[in-house]
C-alpha cells in the first residue's frame, strides 16, 4: 500500500476547465491511476458546486486565485453529495 501511495503522490495533478453557457466545470485531482481520484466541480454565477475532497484543495485554490485576478467572487459553496473529508469547504477560505 505504501508503494502505491508513493506512486500516486508522484503523478501530476489534473486541472482542466470547460465552460458551457453560464456553467464552468473544473476537473481536479489525479488521473492516470487506479483509483482515479479526479473529480469535477462547477461554478454558476457566484456559487461553487461539489468542490470534492481535500485531495483537490490545491485545484480549488488555483481556480479561486484565477477568479480573484479577474475581479470575480464566490459567495457560496453547495455540496450535493458526500466525499471523504468534505471539510474541503474550510480550504475554500476567501
pLDDT at 4: 64
User: Does 46 map to a domain?
Assistant: yes
pTM here? 0.72
Residue 16 forms beta bridges with which residues?
A: 27
Range of the domain at 70: 8-85
Q: What is the mean pLDDT of each run of 10 residues along the chain (94 residues)?
A: 66 85 89 71 92 78 92 89 59 49
Give the Cα separation of 27 and 11 in Å (integer).
Answer: 15
Whether 3 is covered by a domain: the verdict is: no
Distance CA 17, CA 89 (A): 20
How far is 46 from 9, CA to CA, in rounded Å? 32
The predicted pLDDT at position 2 comes to 72
Structural domain count of the chain: 1
Q: What's the pLDDT score for residue 90?
A: 46
> Which spans in 1-94 are helix H?
2-10, 57-69
pLDDT for the residue numbered 23? 95
In a domain, 93, yes or no: no
Residue with C-alpha cell 485576478? 69
Output the pLDDT for position 57: 80
Amino acid at each position: 500500500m505504501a508503494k502505491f501511495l508513493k506512486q500516486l503522490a508522484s503523478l501530476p495533478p489534473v486541472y482542466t476547465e470547460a465552460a458551457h453557457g453560464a456553467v464552468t466545470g473544473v476537473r481536479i485531482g489525479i488521473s492516470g491511476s487506479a483509483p482515479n481520484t479526479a473529480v469535477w466541480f462547477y461554478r454558476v454565477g457566484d456559487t461553487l458546486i461539489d468542490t470534492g475532497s481535500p485531495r483537490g484543495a490545491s485545484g480549488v485554490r488555483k481556480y479561486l486565485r484565477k477568479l480573484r485576478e479577474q475581479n470575480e467572487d464566490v459567495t457560496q459553496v453547495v455540496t450535493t453529495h458526500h466525499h471523504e473529508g468534505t471539510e474541503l469547504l474550510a480550504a475554500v477560505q476567501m
